[in-house]
Chains A and B, each alone.
Chain A
Amino acid sequence: MNHQKKQLLHRLKPYLFMAPALLLAYVFSYRPFLRTIANSFSVVNYSGQIIDFVGLENFRNLFADQNFLTSLFNTFRFAGYFVPLNLLFCLICALLVYKKRRFAAFNETLFMLPMAVAMSSAALVFRALFNPSIGVVNYLLHLNIQWFNDPRWAMGMLVVLGIWMAIGLDFLLLVGALRSIPQSIMEAAEIEGAGPLTLLLRVQLPLISPTLLFIVTTRLRDSMLLSGPVMVMTEGGPLRSTQTLVYHMYLEGFAGGNYSKGSAISVVVFLLTFFLILLAFRAERKGVFYQ
């Protein structure tokens, strides 16, 4: 009897070790995920209970809603500026620093320091720097832009903040990748007469393409989920010009208590991120070089 008990415990043991993690995965990931999908096809009351199944109605309403389309468009607009500009800037910084020389470590430290600042602190600082009447940005660049009142420029602020928060890590990843290219390959190319530009386009960029792809994909995904900087800096304004998908979801689903609509937006966000990940996998199989 005792032996049987022991045997049973022995067989259950690996499951017991996994149980807390599985329980959390169920409660805070899979269950809310499935419920969000169910909500998006239903009418949901104020306490979160499903009242009626309505099929695609929520999505039909969503895509007929100019407000939502604005959020969708703004999210893409942010990604369209942020992802390429961020990659370009970080790549320039990395190319300036990756060769071992005097002050390289000092330069490296400067570029990675923004990592030490949390999002909401950074957003508060940038809010003051961009202040149109007393801020440093307009003063130093001799601009007269109403950053917070001009729908054409408010997104620019978020892009600058986004790049600033991303530099630290993306720069470190790119420097690491550039340094891992074997010296012999670079020297061989130089002996063949390749100039710096040829070297960059034909040797370095192809060899660091896994890192480039990684940065582009993760930053695209971050863009789809952008909400914090919007909440701290612009609250979606002016005239909804910086209202993003997740911020919109917060307004509808949380502040407004409209769970069906919030869930439908959430499903759109999920589809976008899944699609991006699939795209990345495909790109990885096709055109990315591994050493």
Chain B
Amino acid sequence: MMTTRRMQHMINAIVATVLGLIVIFPIYWAFIASFFSSAEFSSWPPRLFPSSFSFTHYVRALTQSPLLKFMFNSLLVSGLGTIVRMIIAISAAFSVAFFSFRGKRILFFLLLGTMMLPPDALFIENYLTVSRLGLVDSYLGIMSVYLLGPVQVFMLRQSFKSIPKTYHEIATMDGCGDFRFLFSVVLPLSRSVVLTLSLHSFFTIWNTYLWPLLVTNDPNMRTAQVGITMLGYADSLDYGPVFAAISLMVLPSVPIFVLMRNRIAEGIKAGMAVG
């Protein structure tokens, strides 16, 4: 005889599974749609599984469109952008956490204050700046507005502050330079935070749409997010390569998100918390 509690658990599991399957349906459908023939796309009733698994659309997406270039651009901008962003944030957080100097509080608040100014509402002026600097259609131009991560500065400073200041004083007295102290003491002790923030940063930059769209005119400079919306099958019902492209981008990130879900949630929560 089942207890009511176990019964309750079973009902919860069933309802949650049904809801869950509805939630992941779009991902499932994007994946199977990448195998549809053009006739299957326009068939009624719509198909819920493909009749065959041919990789024509994948081959076409990879060979007849600049998809690989888009993905390369995105990887480069997100990867390099994250590295530069972390270096700048680590440097600022290091200064705030280990030195005392005049105006520290004000300067620190000025950095955090940028969280109140979302780039999505500043793009007109930022575009003018970037175009005056001649950075339209350049990787630096795409990265430019993401290079300062106030969230990163704040979280790193919190983490650095847990390291006693006396360590720094002793290290300085022993003739250990600031950079050596940073690399051999501070960063190893903050490895986990640095990793979380880097991951968060990578996905934030990877996912951006509006800004990369504005600062690129050259199709070869588009990021994956912008590029796939312009794969150019809009008029025909030839969606195949679009869904092949989407599947190629989503499938690698699924295991990353499943394995690192808590770390990512933490990072994003931190990212939103202060904004």
Interface residues of A (CB under 8 A from B): 11, 13-15, 17-18, 20-22, 24-25, 27-33, 35-36, 39, 47-48, 92-93, 96-97, 99, 101-104, 106-126, 128-129, 133-136, 139, 164, 167-169, 172-173, 176, 214, 218, 221, 225, 227-228, 231-232, 246, 249-250, 253-254, 259, 262-263, 266, 269-270, 273-274, 277
Contact = CB atoms under 8 A, between A and B. Distances in A.
B134 interface: no
22 contacts: A13-B99, A14-B104, A18-B91, A24-B88, A25-B113, A29-B117, A36-B121, A48-B125, A96-B15, A103-B16, A107-B13, A107-B20, A108-B261, A115-B264, A118-B206, A124-B228, A134-B237, A139-B44, A231-B213, A254-B123, A263-B125, A266-B124
Contacts of B253: 116-117
B72 interface: no
Nearest to B115: A29
Contacts of B256: 116
Contact of B144 (A15, A28, A116, A228): A28
Contacts of A39: 124-125
A204 to B, nearest CB: 15
Contact of A102 (B13, B19, B258): B13
Contact of A17 (B13, B94, B229): B94
A17 B91 contact: yes
A173 B207 CA distance: 20
Nearest to A113: B24
B153 A113 contact: no
A121 B30 contact: yes
Interface stretch (B50-58, B185-193, B266-274): B266-274
B27 A113 contact: yes
Given A110-B16, A277-B116, 14 more contacts: A24-B148, A30-B110, A32-B124, A32-B129, A93-B16, A97-B12, A101-B9, A112-B261, A114-B26, A116-B250, A122-B26, A124-B229, A225-B120, A227-B120
B155 to A, nearest CB: 14
B95 interface: yes
B163 to A, nearest CB: 16
Interface of B: 9, 12-13, 15-17, 19-21, 23-24, 26-27, 29-30, 33, 41-46, 48, 88-89, 91-92, 94-96, 99, 101, 104, 107, 110-111, 113-114, 116-129, 144-145, 147-148, 150, 153, 178, 206-207, 209-210, 213-214, 224-226, 228-229, 237, 239, 242-243, 246, 249-250, 253-254, 256-258, 261-262, 264-265, 268-269, 272-273, 275
6 smallest CB-CB distances across A and B, nearest first, come from: A110-B20, A32-B125, A17-B95, A14-B99, A24-B148, A21-B92
A15 B101 contact: yes
Contact of A169 (B24, B148, B239, B265): B265
A221 B275 contact: yes
A32 B118 contact: no
Main DSSP-derived SS at the A contact region: helix
Given A13-B178, A33-B117, A110-B24, A22 B111 contact: yes
Given A124-B242, A134-B46, A136-B48, A18 B12 contact: no
A32 B122 contact: yes
Contacts of A214: 269, 272-273
A113 B239 contact: no
Contact of B95 (A14, A27, A128): A14
A5 B213 CA distance: 48
A97 B17 CA distance: 10
A246 B23 contact: no
Nearest to A92: B19
A126 B214 contact: no
A128 B34 CA distance: 12
A196 B200 CA distance: 37
Contact of B125 (A36, A172, A221): A36
B24 A118 contact: no
A18 B43 contact: no
Nearest to B98: A14
A227 B210 contact: yes
Contacts of B92: 17-18, 20-22
